Amino acid sequence: MLPFAVPYPPEKDNGFWGVPTSTIDWCEENYVVSPYIAEALNTLTNSVFIALALFAIYHAYRNKLEPRFLLIGFGFMLVGIGSWLFHMTLRYHFQLLDELPMIYATCIPFWSVFSEFKSKKESILVGVGIFAAANTLTVIYLYFKDPTIHQVSYALLNACIIYQSISLTQAHVHDAGAKRQLYKTMISGVSIFILGYFLWNVDIHLCTPIRALRRNWGMPYGFVLEGHGWWHIFTGTGVYFYVVYEEYLRCFLTGTERFFKFKWICGLPVVDCIDPKGLDKFNEVKKLAEADAEFLLNEKKNN
């Protein structure tokens, strides 16, 4: 036992929220910190997820980014809230509120990158296809209740998004400095995410010796060995970096990059609007041009 440490109490089979009904019970021992929170560290570390999501929402709104980025931010926050409730209670319905929003929230950037340079009709078809696939996956997962289905699907979604995003960057970002900034952000985000994934696996596969070491150290020192909690911190940070990458990339894909600059705030990347009035005027002209183009296309079809 380390100096000034408090011994871990015995793990409890149930607490305030009753016997766990979730299909997964992580390595953190249940109800040892509080009778009201099943997995205390796994719960509290979701505050990083929620805080970063709120930070993303605030900057997306303040910098006049498109509504899609507000939706991504709210989806990001819902994942953190769902995960908070799941780890606090270990109830199955909250497990679903943790896992399924991870898929749904990721569908938004998936649609964003795969609908680039497509017509409105094609973009809608992409959205319908993604919606149908997400609902099919939900039905399959609810039937089999195998977390591997969710984990593999989530990994594949992100792999496809990253591949398409890099392809778009190579094809449409010609500013060497901006391209370096984009790749730095993507590499940083993916690296942080992978670190979280590594610690998540350590937490799963070495649970017995880790629990023994935590008890040997005592509280609060043992808290640093909560690998799943670190997974929340690192994956939340990695996802935030990835969202900012998509925001900055979108500026180049829409031709609005001159109205924005990429900067860092307290170690976090941010896309900052430097000419709001100019951006509003640009968007107004662009909408009129798109309306005229659609009118001429319809006229051509009718004739």
What is the mean pLDDT of the segment spanning 270-292?
87
Q: What are the strands, taking DSSP E only, across the chain?
A: 260-265, 268-273
Instruction: Report the predicted TM-score, pTM, of the whole model to 2 decimal places.
Output: 0.93
Q: Which of 40, 17, 46 is nearest to 219 (CA)?
A: 40
CA distances from 287 to 114, 117, 282 (A): 21, 15, 9
CA distances from 215 to 3, 30, 167 (A): 13, 13, 48
Render pLDDT for 215-248 as a digit per residue (tens, 0 to 9).
999 999 999 999 999 999 999 999 999 999 999 9
How does residue 103 score in pLDDT terms, banded at 50, 70 and 90?
Answer: very high
Does position 251 have pLDDT exceeding 60, yes or no?
Answer: yes
Render pLDDT for 155-180 as a digit per residue (tens, 0 to 9).
999 999 999 999 999 999 999 999 99
